[in-house]
Structure 1
Amino acid sequence: MTTTNAQLFTHAKVFTGASEDDFATAFRVVDGRFGWVGDAAEVAGEPSTDLGGRTVLPGLIDSHTHPALMVAHGTEVECFPPVVASIDELVTRLREHPDVGAGDGTWILGRGFDDTKFPGGRMPTAADLDRVSTDQPVLVWRCDAHSAVCNSVALRIAGIAAATLDPAGARFERNADGSPSGVLTEIAAVQAVAQHIPSPRHEEMVAALVTIADEFASRGIVAVCDLLSTRIDDPLAVFRRAAAAGMRTRVALYPGWDPSAPLVDLHATDRDGQVRVAGVKVVLDGAYSNRTAWVHEPYPDSCDHGLRLVGDDEVRAAAEWARRNRVQLAVHAMGDQALDRVVDLFGGDEPWLDGIPSVRIEHATVVTDAYVRRLREARMTFGIATHTVFFFAEYDGYEKALRTRADAYPIRRLYGAIEPLALSSDRPATAWSGADDVMLSIEAAVRRHAYNGADFGPDAAINVAQAVLLYTGRARLLSPLAGVGVIAPGFDGSFAVLDRDVFTVPEDEIADVRVAETWIRGERVFAR
Structure 2
Amino acid sequence: MLRPILLVFLVACASPVDWVFHNGVVHTLVEGQEPASAIAIREGKIAFVGNDASALALAGNGTRVINLAGRALLPGFHDAHMHLMGFGESLRTLDLVDTGSLEEVVQETAKWAEKVPEGDWIVGSGWDQNDWDSSRMPTHHVLSEAIRTNPVLLWRVDGHAVLVNQSAMDAVGLHAGTSDPPGGRLLREPDGALSGVLLDRATHLITSVIPAPNEEELGFRLEAAVSMLHRLGVTAIGDAGVDSAGVEFYRAAAAEGRLPLRVSIMLDAQDELALASWLPGGPRPDLDGHGVISLRAVKAFADGALGSRGAALQEDYADDPGNQGLILTSPEVLQALASRCKKSGFQLCTHAIGDRGCQSVLDAYAATFAPGGDLRFRLEHAQVLTQRQIEQMASLGIVASMQAQHATSDMPWVEARVGKNRAEGAYAWRWLMNAGVPIAGGTDAPVEFPDPLASFWSAVTRTDAEGNPPGGWFPQHRMTRSEALQHLIRTPAWASFQEARMGTLEVGKLADVVVLSDNPLTAPESVLRDLKVEMTIFNGVLVHPKQAAF
Q: TM-score, normalised by structure 2?
A: 0.88
Indicate which of 400, 424, 444 corresponds to 2:442. 424
Q: 1:494 to 1:171 in 2, by over 3 A?
A: same
Q: 1:472 to 1:70 in 2, by over 3 A?
A: closer
SS of match in other structure, 2:358? helix
Equivalent residue, structure 2, for 1:35? 47
Task: Trace 1:188-199 onto structure 2 (pairs within 5 A).
Answer: 188-199=201-212
CA distance in 1, matches of 2:37, 2:270: 49
Indicate which of 58, 68, 77 corresponds to 1:51. 68
CA distance in 1, matches of 2:505, 2:436: 22
Residues 305-343 of structure 1: per-residue CA shift (max 9 Å, x gap): 111111123212322332243211111011111112222
Fraction of identical pairs, as percent: 25
Equivalent residue, structure 2, for 1:272? 286
Equivalent residue, structure 2, for 1:161? 175
Query: 1:22: Cα distance to partner?
Result: 3.3
Q: 1:138 to 1:296 in 2, by over 3 A?
A: same
In the alignment, does 2:133 pair up with 1:119?
A: yes
Taking only aligned residues, the RMSD between alpha carbons, in angstroms, comes to 2.4
In the alignment, does 2:508 pair up with 1:493?
A: no
Equivalent residue, structure 1, for 2:266? 254
Task: Trace 1:75-154 onto structure 2 (pairs within 5 A).
Answer: 75-81=92-98, 84-97=99-112, 100-154=114-168
In the alignment, does 2:522 pair up with 1:504?
A: yes
Equivalent residue, structure 1, for 2:364? 345
In the alignment, does 2:230 pair up with 1:221?
A: no
Query: 1:419: Cα distance to partner?
Result: 5.2
Instruction: Check conservation: 2:175, 2:193, Cα contact below 8 A.
Output: yes
In the alignment, does 2:217 pair up with 1:204?
A: yes
Q: 1:195 to 1:459 in 2, by over 3 A?
A: same
Instruction: Check conservation: 1:326, 1:352, Cα contact below 8 A.
Output: no
* Counterpart amino acid of residue 270 in structure 2: D
CA distance in 1, matches of 2:370, 2:277: 19
CA distance in 2, matches of 1:134, 1:335: 38
CA distance in 2, matches of 1:102, 1:441: 35
Of residues 124-133 and 84-93 in structure 1, the stretch that sits farther from structure 2 once superposed is 124-133
In the alignment, does 2:490 pair up with 1:461?
A: no
CA distance in 1, matches of 2:372, 2:250: 25
Of residues 113-122 and 21-30 in structure 1, the stretch that sits farther from structure 2 once superposed is 21-30
Q: 1:260 to 1:349 in 2, by over 3 A?
A: closer
Q: 1:496 to 1:132 in 2, by over 3 A?
A: farther
Query: 1:438: Cα distance to partner?
Result: 0.9
Query: 1:242: Cα distance to partner?
Result: 2.5
CA distance in 2, matches of 1:126, 1:469: 44
In the alignment, does 2:185 pair up with 1:171?
A: yes
CA distance in 2, matches of 1:496, 1:134: 48
Instruction: Check conservation: 2:186, 2:198, Cα contact below 8 A.
Output: yes
Query: Greater helix percent: which structure?
Result: 2
Q: 1:265 to 1:477 in 2, by over 3 A?
A: same
CA distance in 1, matches of 2:217, 2:284: 23
Query: 1:247: Cα distance to partner?
Result: 2.2
Instruction: Check conservation: 2:92, 2:221, Cα contact below 8 A.
Output: no
Equivalent residue, structure 2, for 1:367? 385
CA distance in 2, matches of 1:35, 1:170: 52
* Counterpart amino acid of residue 436 in structure 1: P
Q: 1:168 to 1:20 in 2, by over 3 A?
A: farther
Equivalent residue, structure 1, for 2:412? 396
Q: TM-score, normalised by structure 1?
A: 0.91
Aligned residues: 514
SS of match in other structure, 2:490? coil
Task: Pick 1 or 2: higher relative contact order, CA cutoff 8 A, min separation 6.
Answer: 1
* Counterpart amino acid of residue 406 in structure 1: E
In the alignment, does 2:86 pair up with 1:69?
A: yes
Instruction: Check conservation: 1:420, 1:477, Cα contact below 8 A.
Output: no
Query: 1:224: Cα distance to partner?
Result: 0.3
Instruction: Check conservation: 1:173, 1:182, Cα contact below 8 A.
Output: yes
Task: Trace 1:475-494 onto structure 2 (pairs within 5 A).
Answer: 475-481=492-498, 483-494=501-512
Which 5+ residue runs of structure 1 have no aligned equivalent?
none
CA distance in 2, matches of 1:92, 1:114: 15
* Counterpart amino acid of residue 96 in structure 2: C
Instruction: Check conservation: 2:236, 2:262, Cα contact below 8 A.
Output: yes
Instruction: Check conservation: 1:117, 1:396, Cα contact below 8 A.
Output: no
Query: 1:42: Cα distance to partner?
Result: 3.7
Indicate which of 3, 16, 19 corresponds to 1:7. 19
Of residues 218-227 and 346-355 in structure 1, the stretch that sits farther from structure 2 once superposed is 346-355
* Counterpart amino acid of residue 409 in structure 2: A
CA distance in 1, matches of 2:355, 2:152: 35
* Counterpart amino acid of residue 71 in structure 2: R
SS of match in other structure, 1:513? coil
Of residues 308-317 and 156-165 in structure 1, the stretch that sits farther from structure 2 once superposed is 308-317
Instruction: Check conservation: 2:516, 2:532, Cα contact below 8 A.
Output: yes
Query: 1:18: Cα distance to partner?
Result: 1.6
Instruction: Check conservation: 1:327, 1:358, Cα contact below 8 A.
Output: no
Instruction: Check conservation: 1:219, 1:438, Cα contact below 8 A.
Output: yes
Residues 197-248 of structure 1: per-residue CA shift (max 9 Å, x gap): 1111123212321221111111110000011123xx5111111223324321
Query: 1:277: Cα distance to partner?
Result: 2.1
SS of match in other structure, 1:163? coil
CA distance in 1, matches of 2:430, 2:533: 26
* Counterpart amino acid of residue 223 in structure 1: A
In the alignment, does 2:328 pair up with 1:328?
A: no
CA distance in 2, matches of 1:410, 1:312: 24
CA distance in 2, matches of 1:270, 1:35: 26
Residues 400-423 of structure 1: per-residue CA shift (max 9 Å, x gap): 212233221122222343454211
Query: 1:68: Cα distance to partner?
Result: 2.7
Q: 1:335 to 1:150 in 2, by over 3 A?
A: same
Instruction: Check conservation: 1:206, 1:238, Cα contact below 8 A.
Output: no
Q: 1:19 to 1:94 in 2, by over 3 A?
A: farther
SS of match in other structure, 1:470? helix
Q: 1:292 to 1:280 in 2, by over 3 A?
A: same
* Counterpart amino acid of residue 234 in structure 1: A
Q: 1:473 to 1:269 in 2, by over 3 A?
A: closer
